Chains A and B, each alone.
Chain A
Amino acid sequence: MILNQASFRDPVGRVYEQNNRVFRNVNNSHREFFNRFLSSAFFTQNRKKIVDTKFIDSIPGEKKKPTTTFWLEHEKIELITYPHEWGFETLKRVALFHLQLQKEAFAEGFVLKDASPYNVQLKDGEPIFIDLLSFEDYREGSFWYGYNQFCDNFLNPLLIRSFSGIEHNQFFRGSIDGINTKITSKLLPMRSWLSYNAVAHVHLKAWAERKVDSTFSGLLLPPQSGVSSKNLIALWESLARFIDKLKVREKTYWGDYENNTSYSVVSENAKSQLIARFISKNGLQTVVDLGCNSGRYSRISLKNGAKRVIGLDFDGVAVDKANSDNFLRKQNFIALQFDLMNPSPAIGWKNRERVTLFDRLPQVDAVICLALIHHICIAKNVPIADFVKFLFTLSDIVLVEFVPKTDPMVKGLLSRRVDVFSDYSEETFKEALLKFGKILETHHIEGSERKVYICQSK
Chain B
Amino acid sequence: MSKISISVSALFLVLAGSSPAYAYLDPGSISLALQALLGGIAGIAVTYRFWLFKLKSFLFGSKFQTDSKNNDNDNDTKQPK
Pairwise interchain contact A208-B14, C-beta atoms closer than 8 A: yes
Chain B positions within 8 Å of A103 at CB level: 77
Taking a contact as CB atoms under 8 Å apart, the answer to whether B80 and A208 are in contact is no
CA distance A151 to B13 in the complex (A): 24
Within 8 A of A (CB), among B33-60: 33-36, 38-43, 45-46
The contact size tier of chain B is: 35 or more
Which residue in B11, B15, B45 is a CB contact (below 8 Å) of A238? B45
A66 at the interface (CB under 8 A from B): no
Contacts of B6 in A (CB 8 A): 223-225
| Residue from A106, A200, A212, A223 within 8 A of B26 (CB atoms) | A212
A228-B25 contact in complex given A138-B80, A215-B17, A223-B6, C-beta closer than 8 Å: no
A195-231 interface (Cβ within 8 A of B): 200-201, 204-205, 208-209, 211-213, 215, 217-231
**Chain A residues whose CB sits within 8 angstroms of the CB of B14 once the complex forms:** 208, 211-212, 218-220
Task: State in angstroms the CA–CA spacing of A218 and B38 once bound together.
Answer: 21
Chain A residues, Cβ within 8 Å of B35: 143-144, 147, 227, 235
Q: State whether the Cβ of A140 lies closer than 8 Å to any Cβ in chain B.
A: yes
Within 8 Å by CB of A223, from B7, B28, B42, B45, lies B7
A232 touches B25 (CB 8 A): no
A183 within 8 Å of B (CB atoms): no
Report whether B15 and A226 are in contact in the complex, using a CB–CB cutoff of 8 Å.
Answer: no
| B75 smallest CB distance to A (angstroms) | 9
Query: Which residues of B lie under 8 Å from residue A221 when comparing CB positions?
Result: 10, 20, 22-23, 25, 29
Set of chain A residues within 8 Å of B42, measured between Cβ atoms: 231, 234-235, 237-238
- Please, which residue of chain A has its CB at the minimum distance from the CB of B14? A220
* Beta-carbon contact of B27 and A213 below 8 Å: yes
Interface string of A219-260 (1 = CB under 8 A from B): 111111111111111110110000000000000000000000
Minimal Cβ-Cβ distance residue in B for A216: B25
Give the shortest distance, in Å, between B37 (CB) and chain A (any CB).
8
In chain B, what residue has the closest Cβ to A151? B31
Smallest CB-CB separation from B79: which chain A residue? A229
Query: Is B80 within 8 A of A223, CB to CB?
Result: no
Q: Which residues of A contact B19 (CB under 8 A)?
A: 217-220
Asked if A226 and B32 sit within 8 Å, CB to CB, the answer is: yes
One of B10, B29, B33, B80 near A106 (C-beta < 8 A): B80
Show the binding face of A for B, using Cβ within 8 Å.
103, 106-110, 138, 140, 143-144, 147-148, 151, 200-201, 204-205, 208-209, 211-213, 215, 217-235, 237-238
Which B residues have a C-beta under 8 Å from some C-beta of A? 3, 6-7, 10-11, 13-15, 17-20, 22-36, 38-43, 45-46, 74, 77-81
25 pairs, A vs B, C-beta closer than 8 Å: A103-B77, A106-B80, A107-B78, A107-B79, A109-B80, A151-B31, A208-B11, A208-B34, A209-B30, A219-B14, A220-B14, A220-B20, A220-B33, A221-B10, A222-B33, A223-B7, A225-B6, A227-B39, A228-B3, A229-B79, A229-B80, A231-B42, A234-B42, A234-B45, A237-B77
